[in-house]
Amino acid sequence: MEIDFSRKLPISFYLQDTISVANQLIGKIIVKIEKNSILAGKIVEVEAYTQSKDEASHSFVGITKRNKAMFETGGILYVYFIYGKYFCANIVTNKKNIGDAVLLRAVEPLFNLEQISLNRYGRKNITNKQKVNLTNGPGKFCAGFGINTTHNFVDLTSDSIFILDGKEEKMEIGVSERIGINKSKELQRRFYLKGSQFLSR
């Protein structure tokens, strides 16, 4: 895959209002380069979390050792460990000390599916059904892309993990309540690409 670095999102993109960033992330391409291996996928589902008026957000209680990355200037990763087995990756947004981030819920794998599958299933060859399930959840995405807490605070304007502006295409973006939470459940902060078979289940 040839990377067009001119399409890399600038820091100004991440400093926008968090809800706006979440909406605009749909259709963007996330790229991870590590040990000469390039992994890439289209972002098809996200959830926005803010410190203000959002009890489901990690930042709602204020800054802690775990959520410290959320309070940095937007444009870095916030990665946390959950349920003793999964990692979740978030895009930190807005200005420093705001405490906002966007959870990457699902990605359509686009490039180097063999490596993504090896990371996720321990083998390169997979069925079409397994391809659909490869990165269609926050934990699955991190497993497939080899993202863990060592990537917490990674600068998204660097050349290791970054996001590219997607090619112009007609997209219909859906909005709904977030999934799997009880607090602030009424907030319409889940954004997804309508019709995508790669959404989380």
Per-residue pLDDT tens digits for 151-188: 999 999 999 999 999 876 789 999 999 988 889 988 99
Per-residue pLDDT tens digits for 43-84: 999 999 999 999 899 999 989 989 999 999 999 999 999 887
Q: Which secondary structure element, helix H or strand E, spans residue 90, and what is its range?
A: strand 86-93
In this prediction, residue 34 carries a pLDDT of: 81
In this prediction, residue 51 carries a pLDDT of: 92
Residues 6+ apart with CB under 8 A from 109: 40, 41, 116, 131, 134, 135, 144, 198
Task: With a cut of 90, say whether residue 35 has pLDDT above it.
Answer: no
Per-residue pLDDT tens digits for 14-32: 999 999 999 999 999 999 9
Predicted TM-score of the model (pTM): 0.94
Q: Which secondary structure element, helix H or strand E, spans residue 79, and what is its range?
A: strand 77-82
Query: Could you give the CA distance from residue 61 to residue 52 in angstroms, rounded to a whole number?
Result: 10
Write phi, then psi, for 6 (nearest 5 degrees).
Answer: -70, -15
Share of the chain above pLDDT 70, in %: 99
Domains of the chain, each with CATH number or no CATH = 14-193 (3.10.300.10)
Q: What would the DSSP string read from start to end of 171-198?
A: --EEEEPPSS--TTTT---EEEETT-TT
Contact present, 71 and 99 (Cβ < 8 Å): yes
